[in-house]
Chain A
Amino acid sequence: MPEDAAPALTTAERDELRRQGILLTSISELYNWGRSNSVWPLNFGLACCAIEMIAASMARFDIARFGSEVFRPSPRQADLLIVSGTVTKKMAPQVVRLWNQMPEPKYCIAMGACAISGGPFKQGYNVLKGIDRFIPVDIYIPGCPPRPEALLHGLVELQKKIRGEKLSGPGAPRHLQPDNDCTYPVPEFGEHDLEPPRNPAVWQPPILTRPDKA
């Protein structure tokens, strides 16, 4: 059955069937259900946002309720990179390298103002203006730092995104597309800045016109 065909049954009808002991599903739905409920984050913190990330994993906020309590110490075993804190230019190549070492399918959450844009340090000489200049970010969580509830909300939104993914066709995630090798160039340390300062394949400056300021 083509995946994007209109479902023959509504959700309410399927729930009714489930109550009668009949389970109707598709491979992609079952597959996405499984992996969206066991997203293993990388055990990796950069700044004060990492403290909130740790708090989210402890008993009070309990990220285990959402299947993400297994913080892996190795990128080879992780599905999710939570960029939790300020990414300095000195640290940026290491973050991209960790991202490259994670196996697909993998997801990235930019947690907090610094990881999104550089935050309060945006004009500083040693702070990257957002990790999305080098790696693709799936979920942005604003805050300085975001509360653990916000991280949990970001995780739930990521699960929704995973459940909506298709396993074939043009809408498939990047690792299932044949012409995508899923490697991201690691920036080098230059004499004045990172070389290159951004990855144009991942991030382009938004084109905004500001008629009021022009």
Chain B
Amino acid sequence: METAEQIRDRLLARFPGAEITVVTNPGLSAQHSLLLGSPHARAIAQFLRDDPTLRLDQCSNVTGVDWPEKEIIDTVKVTVPDPAGGPPKVIEQKNKRLTPAYLEVVYHLYSIALRHGPVVIRTRTGNRSDQVDVPSLTPVWRSCEFQEREVFDLFGVSFSGHPDLRRILMWDGFKDYPMRKDYVDPDDYEWEPTPHDEVLARAKVHYPATPAAPEPKA
């Protein structure tokens, strides 16, 4: 099967102007993926399915990833001229920056006909609050329907073009997105039999005030 870079080059030739980036996986599996820009994502998915050398006819897995803002510190060496007239000094300057927050949807594609795969494609939302639209790939692979609903339910990604976008695991009136990293679960830690770490801290709030230490037994 073609590598991710080869697929990207072919896609760029076929869809000029599309945003396609290879996201490398530094791990041992080296399972690199293709990050697709939203405007062309569905056309590219259709192409990947119908292309005779790829024929990725099965979407086996759709999942979401939450990427909150992350602080990154860049260390830059800056040359500062000495005001006293001596030789300029080289100091290290630390610049803090925040990576943008977004939600990501990952699709794992296989070819049953040609027995190869997976090809991993990703799409990203603009942010985690109000621009959470990505194109639905359910019109391309029918098997995405329930899994995209699950990503919608647990991460809050809104799939435009999905035929039936409703919550699937949680109930309809539920307001939270439980798989997001900033999800706070309901405080029902009245009592825990084996509390530890964070659970202990949360359960302790509900414990009655500790009575005075018992009298030592004579």
Contacts and interface: CB of A to CB of B under 8 A. Distances in A.
Interface string A189-214: 11111000110000001111111011
A176 to B, nearest CB: 31
B185 A125 contact: yes
A191 B206 CA distance: 22
B74 interface: no
Contacts of B210: 209, 211, 214
A192 B175 contact: yes
A213 B185 contact: no
A213 B195 contact: yes
Interface string B180-198: 0001011010110101000
B211 interface: yes
A99 B114 CA distance: 53
B52 interface: no
A90 interface: yes
Given A90-B169, A209-B210, A198 B176 contact: no
A89 B171 CA distance: 9
Contact of B211 (A117, A190, A198, A209): A209
B200 A213 contact: yes
A191 B174 contact: yes
Q: Which label, helix, strand, loop or mixed, suits the secondary structure of the B interface?
A: loop
Contacts of B174: 189, 191-192
User: B175, B186, B200: which has the most chain A beta carbons within 10 Å?
Assistant: B186
A211 B185 CA distance: 28
A92 to B, nearest CB: 11
Interface in B144-187: 169-176, 178, 183, 185-186
A43 interface: no
A123 B190 contact: no
A126 B154 CA distance: 11
B44 to A, nearest CB: 34
B206 A193 contact: no
A208 B211 CA distance: 11
B78 interface: no
B191 A125 contact: no
Given A211-B210, A211-B214, A205 B191 contact: yes
Interface string B203-218: 0001110110110000
Interface residues of A, number: 23
Given A189-B173, A211-B214, A205 B178 contact: no
B205 to A, nearest CB: 12
B199 interface: yes
Contacts of A193: 186, 188
Contacts of B169: 90, 126
A108 to B, nearest CB: 21
A63 B213 CA distance: 50
Contacts of A214: 207, 210
A193 to B, nearest CB: 4
A129 B202 CA distance: 15
A207 B188 contact: no
B211 to A, nearest CB: 6
Interface string A168-191: 000000000000000000000111
A96 to B, nearest CB: 15
Contacts of B185: 123, 125
A145 to B, nearest CB: 19
A90 B175 contact: no
B190 A191 contact: no
Given A191-B174, A197-B188, 8 more contacts: A117-B193, A125-B176, A189-B173, A189-B174, A191-B175, A192-B176, A208-B191, A209-B207
Interface of B: 169-176, 178, 183, 185-186, 188, 190-191, 193, 195, 199-200, 206-208, 210-211, 213-214
6 contacts: A90-B169, A90-B171, A123-B185, A207-B208, A213-B200, A214-B210
